[in-house]
Amino acid sequence: MRSFSYERAASPGAAAAAAAGTANAKFIAGGTNLLDLMKLEIETPAHLIDVNDLALDRIEETADGGLRIGALVRNTDLAADIRVRRDYGVLSRALLAGASGQLRNKATTAGNLLQRTRCPYFYDTNLPCNKRKPGSGCAAIGGFSRQHAVVGVSDACIATHPSDMAVAMRALDAVVETVRPDGTTRSIPIAELHRLPGDSPEIETSLEPGELITAVVLPKPVGGAQAYRKVRDRASYAFALVSVAAIVQRDGTGRVALGGVAHKPWRVEAAEAKLPDGAKAVTARLFADAKPTKDNAYKLPLAERTLAAVLREARA
């Protein structure tokens, strides 16, 4: 373990200012991803800023009938909240599909959104990875790529985003609230939070240096039948090969977001107009620009079949 300094932040603004003013600083809350990466020396922060003492662990109703979820709300508490279970069922189901009960007890809302890829080449420091070491190359391209992205990829990276919660929040049109180092705040639509890899896969979000997530806001409930289905290699504690978050209204319209197929939660609003026509029509639009490898081409028909099953469940 490399040595590092440590402090406890007194306020969100102070935490952001400390992160911006200290070289190679990282925020730490639950630590369920960061600590593993530090042990492997993939992340080597010189300074850790503990944000657990900040009052960001509440779920509150907003004036327009939505919910504001504090950045430090634990995944277990969020999944169990009666308002989430009643009005945002797709989110509760997605959370319960992720990780293990022990990890959900520690993992936070903001940390879940910001967790890093589980690409095995990213985790193997003996192999090149543009996300871990920019410019070194991508070992997954030309390697064994069964778990990797099929859409939104680039010549620099084909990793996927691992979060289940983020997929549900993308379907719900959540908004991420932050504080910058200068104390100003901003709201980022979740569609704009995560980036596609392009030529700089090491830059994973639109957050500025030192910017701290303080809350995630869910809009007023949209109703409809909500479902989340995750296809994986084993029944628990496994990341998605393909996952589908869907909200379907009585008239057949709705929303669909996919996980396990891209560098970010994958939603194409134009594809949702095809929902009344069935899963095949929707996935044809979702994957119009897909570039699968020989190892992961199975994800395209798997996504179609998974969406078809979710639509049958929702319409029933």
Residue 96 token pair: 């319960």
Mean pLDDT of the chain: 97
User: What is 5-50's CATH number, 3.10.129.10, 3.30.43.10, 2.60.40.150, 3.40.50.450?
Assistant: 3.30.43.10
Strand locations in 163-211, DSSP E? 175-179, 185-189
Residues in a beta bridge with 248? 225, 254
pLDDT score of 5: 97
pLDDT score of 303: 98
pLDDT score of 316: 82
- Cβ–Cβ < 8 Å for 64, 219: yes
- Taking only the tens place, the pLDDT of each residue in 134-179 is 999 999 999 999 999 999 999 999 999 999 999 999 999 999 999 9
- Taking only the tens place, the pLDDT of each residue in 289-300 is 999 999 999 999
CATH class of 225-315: alpha beta
pLDDT score of 217: 98
Distances, alpha carbon 167 to alpha carbons 51, 130, 196, 265, 282, in Å: 25, 24, 15, 5, 17
List the chain domain ranges: 5-50, 225-315
- Cβ–Cβ < 8 Å for 29, 70: no
- Cβ–Cβ < 8 Å for 12, 56: yes
Query: What are 67-70's contacts with CB under 8 Å, separation 24+?
Result: 67/217, 67/218, 68/177, 68/215, 68/216, 68/217, 68/218, 69/109, 69/215, 69/216, 69/217, 69/218, 70/109, 70/214, 70/215
The model's pTM: 0.97
Mean pLDDT by 10 residues, the chain (316 residues): 93 98 97 96 97 98 98 98 98 96 96 98 97 98 97 98 98 98 98 98 98 98 96 92 97 96 98 96 98 98 97 88
